[in-house]
Amino acid sequence: MSTEPGTASYPSRSAELLWGPRGRAGRGPRPGLSRDQIVTAAIAVADRDGVDALSMRRVAAELRVGTMSLYRYVPGKAELLDLMLDQVSDPGPGRGPAAGADWRQVMADHARGSRDLYLAHPWLLQVNWCRPVFGPNTLAGVELVIAGLAGLGLTDRERVTVMIAIDSYVTGFVRNQILYSRAAEETGISDEEFWATQHPVLERAMASGDYPELAKLAEDSFNAGWEESFEFGLQRLLDGVQALVDARRRPGYRSGSTA
Amino acid sequence: MSTEPGTASYPSRSAELLWGPRGRAGRGPRPGLSRDQIVTAAIAVADRDGVDALSMRRVAAELRVGTMSLYRYVPGKAELLDLMLDQVSDPGPGRGPAAGADWRQVMADHARGSRDLYLAHPWLLQVNWCRPVFGPNTLAGVELVIAGLAGLGLTDRERVTVMIAIDSYVTGFVRNQILYSRAAEETGISDEEFWATQHPVLERAMASGDYPELAKLAEDSFNAGWEESFEFGLQRLLDGVQALVDARRRPGYRSGSTA
DNA sequence: CTGATCTGCGTACGGCGTACTCAGAAGAGT
DNA sequence: ACTCTTCTGAGTACGCCGTACGCAGATCAG
């Protein structure tokens, strides 16, 4: 409390908001607004106009309400972002793993689902969360993955670490994709224009001889689609996990390296 | 130029700054400052006080100079960030791959090097780069990895995609680590205090029965160190690449899945 | 009806990035 | 040596931001 608020949320406050009862004392006037309304409006603004356009004033305007009224429902912007994260992580009702799916399918589905989520709400990866506060919906996703890794002979810690690895890959990949492709509209410069400005610079760099291997690459080496690249890396990662699972089942096997 | 600047840099301007000649016309007074000085000072501020404390006024104060003077050397904050990225990516002189290292060692070294870099300069992952502009140093890192993947029977496009996958994993992992561990000092709350506030909430969630598999996990399943977790995931990913390399060498082999 | 309590929100403060503007220093041309 | 062009340094100001504070009025307990 003594330090400046900065961008960081106060985790215990966010936890209360995420898990706490939504009771209300019956003394004053009825609230004309709800926390969910505010969170929904904020998500709409962030989706439509980007995270830079997300401000308390903007959200209030969206709801035709005074700016400071928001603070009756949300302690501050950081906590609002925490709530946005959890609301958007809601998988919807009845979203479980297909009954007969093997672990690899479950992991791949989860990875693709996360990717879709991040692409639909790019601000998820652009915001500096003070610290990931676990909300009910976030936790439900974790449960699904951990359950999908049950019964494979992995230790509990390995299951958790595999989950982290997959999440890291997805997060990092989509972050890259967003930086490259979404930024086009933010700068008002199309992808073609961007590469048109970069191309001569790169040509000169290649001609300099400082990057011999890069210069030898075929022209279209960087032209794989995002979707295709994502799948490729994901399958490599899952292949590696597969090797570990096989090793646990056939104890004679040795992995390419220990960890 | 017609649109608002926002957070996005103007890529052609950044490219000129990164690659362009540093010539100066000899007419006016000598510049009392240099772009490198500004970039260095900005990096110092970001490292010391965090990315939120990085402002043009702050950098100017660091250099005991008027705020607007910075704009004689750097078009704006976004471009300054681009320059910071490239300066910090300088691997130093004579940093090549060890001569006899196999590809796996080269990839692992590169991954660990990136990780160290990101941990040393967390703002690298917290800033929303408008778009990754390739600077000389960034490009040198790419060259190293692509060279390390030569001669393995992979296509050019596969080499690029493997590189992206490794970079995605590293980026995503360290981002997570930073969010969890670095945020402690920003909120002024220690790791213990944070978990102390989260623990009862999680206990109640586990007791609710909504997360059966999570509840069954051993208590210390999440307690693996960052370093250990990073290595584990990295080795899994490299195992997967290994499988692809092996498949290319023994054409009869089939991967766990195609991509 | 009274008093406590809660909501909505206007005002204001300090900080941000940066456009504009101008004084004055330094070299070029004569 | 003088002028003119050009460049640097920087103060001021504008429109954003998050949010602390305080007040008017609505609502309900007693």
Which of A194, A210, A223 lies closest to B11 in CB terms?
A194
Flag whether pLDDT at B183 surpasses 70: no
The DSSP element (H or E) to which B236 belongs, if any, is: helix B226-249
Kindly tell me the burial class for residue A136, based on how many C-beta atoms sit within 10 Å of its own C-beta (0-12, 13-18, 19 or more). middle
Residues B113 and B145 in one domain: yes
Question: What is the pLDDT averaged over residues B234-242?
Answer: 98
Residues B181 and B136 in one domain: yes
In a domain, A77, yes or no: yes
Residue B134 near residue B181, CB atoms below 8 Å: no
Instruction: For B196, name the nearest residue in chain A, comparing CA atoms only.
Output: A12
Q: DSSP string spanning chain A?
A: --S--TT---HHHHHHHHHS-----SSSPPPSS-HHHHHHHHHHHHHHH-GGG--HHHHHHHTTS-GGGGGGT-S-HHHHHHHHHHHHT---TT----TT--HHHHHHHHHHHHHHHHHH-THHHHS--SS-PPPHHHHHHHHHHHHHTTTSS--HHHHHHHHHHHHHHHHHHHHHHIIIIIHHHHHT--HHHHHHHHHHHHHHHHHTTS-HHHHHS-GGGG---HHHHHHHHHHHHHHHHHHHHHHHHSTT---SS--
Question: What is the pLDDT averaged over residues B180-190?
Answer: 63
Residues A166 and A70 in one domain: no
In a domain, A204, yes or no: yes
Q: Do A238 and B255 touch (CB under 8 A)?
A: no
In a domain, A166, yes or no: yes
Flag whether pLDDT at A185 surpasses 90: no
CATH value at residue A214: 1.10.357.10
Chain A residues close to B168, C-beta within 8 Å:
168-173, 175-176, 233
Domain count, chain B: 2
Residues A81 and A159 in one domain: no
Structural domain for B171, as ranges? 103-188+224-249
Residues A59 and A156 in one domain: no
The per-residue pLDDT of chain B, averaged, comes to 84
* Confidence category of residue B201, pLDDT binned at 50, 70, 90: confident
Q: What angle do CA A110, A111, A116 make, to 5 degrees?
A: 95
Residues B236 and B164 in one domain: yes
In a domain, B69, yes or no: yes
In the chain, the amino acid numbered B99 is A
* Confidence category of residue B249, pLDDT binned at 50, 70, 90: confident
**Residue to test with chain B: of A106, A144, A214, A236, most B Cβ within 10 A:** A236
Q: Which residues touch strand D (CB under 7 A)?
A: A 5, 26-30, 53-58, 67-68, 71, 76-78; B 24-25, 27-33, 65-69, 71-73
In a domain, A182, yes or no: yes
* Confidence category of residue A107, pLDDT binned at 50, 70, 90: very high
Question: What is the pLDDT averaged over residues B32-49?
Answer: 96
Structure tokens at A55: 């401000």
Residue with the two structure tokens 């191309």: A199
pLDDT tens column, A67-95:
999 999 999 999 999 899 889 987 666 56
Of B144, B22, B127, B25, give the one whose Cα is nearest residue B82.
B127
Handedness of CA B194, B199, B200, B202 (dihedral sign): positive
Residues B235 and B180 in one domain: yes
Question: What is the pLDDT averaged over residues B233-259?
Answer: 81
Residues B82 and B108 in one domain: no
Residue B174 near residue B233, CB atoms below 8 Å: no
Residues B47 and B128 in one domain: no
In the chain, the amino acid numbered A121 is H
Most confident of A243-257, B69-83, B170-184, B210-224: B69-83
What gap in Å lies between CA B79 and CA B57, rounded to an integer? Answer: 16
Flag whether pLDDT at A30 surpasses 90: no
pLDDT tens column, A124-175:
998 877 556 677 888 888 999 999 999 999 999 999 999 999 999 999 999 9
Give residue A2's pLDDT. Answer: 29
Contacts of residues B12-18 at CB distance under 8 Å and 24 or more positions apart, as own/partner, are B12/A197, B13/B75, B13/B79, B14/B78, B14/B79, B14/B82, B14/B83, B14/B133, B15/A197, B15/A198, B15/A201, B15/B133, B17/B74, B17/B75, B17/B79, B17/B82, B17/B83, B18/B82, B18/B83, B18/B86, B18/B133, B18/B134, B18/B135, B18/B136
In a domain, A156, yes or no: yes
In a domain, B1, yes or no: no
Q: Do A180 and B220 touch (CB under 8 A)?
A: no
Give residue B198's pLDDT. Answer: 76
* Dihedral (Cα; B145, B151, B153, B154), 10-degree rounding: 20
Residues A75 and A165 in one domain: no
Kindly tell me the burial class for residue A98, based on how many C-beta atoms sit within 10 Å of its own C-beta (0-12, 13-18, 19 or more). exposed
In the chain, the amino acid numbered B41 is A
Kindly tell me the burial class for residue B232, based on how many C-beta atoms sit within 10 Å of its own C-beta (0-12, 13-18, 19 or more). buried
Structure tokens at A124: 């998820």
Angle between helices A77-88 and A11-19 (to 10 degrees): 40
Give me the helices (H) in B20-155, please: 35-49, 56-62, 77-88, 103-120, 123-126, 136-148
The per-residue pLDDT of chain A, averaged, comes to 84
What gap in Å lies between CA B132 and CA B154, rounded to an integer? Answer: 26
Domain end point (choices A41, A65, A88): A88
* Confidence category of residue A1, pLDDT binned at 50, 70, 90: very low
Of B151, B147, B153, B146, give the one whose Cα is nearest residue B249.
B153
Of A77, A83, A81, A54, give the one whose Cα is nearest residue A5.
A77
Distance B55 CA to C7 C1' (A): 37
Most confident of A210-224, A234-248, B16-30, B197-211: A234-248
Distance B66 CA to D7 C1' (A): 17
Residues A67 and A108 in one domain: no
C-alpha distance from residue A151 to each of A37, A103, A245, B37, B41 (Å)? 42, 9, 10, 57, 53
Domain end point (choices B61, B88, B115): B88
Residues B107 and B181 in one domain: yes
Q: In the Cβ-directed half-sphere of B20, how many Cα atoms lie within 13 Å?
A: 12
Question: 10 Å Cβ neighbour count for A76?
Answer: 16
pLDDT tens column, B77-108:
999 998 998 899 876 665 666 667 899 999 99
In a domain, A18, yes or no: no
Q: SS in 3 state form for B18-48? A: HHCCCCCCCCCCCCCCCHHHHHHHHHHHHHH
Residue B122 near residue B171, CB atoms below 8 Å: no
Residue A201 near residue B19, CB atoms below 8 Å: yes
Distance A152 CA to C18 C1' (A): 58
Q: What is the ipTM of this complex?
A: 0.86
CATH value at residue A61: 1.10.10.60
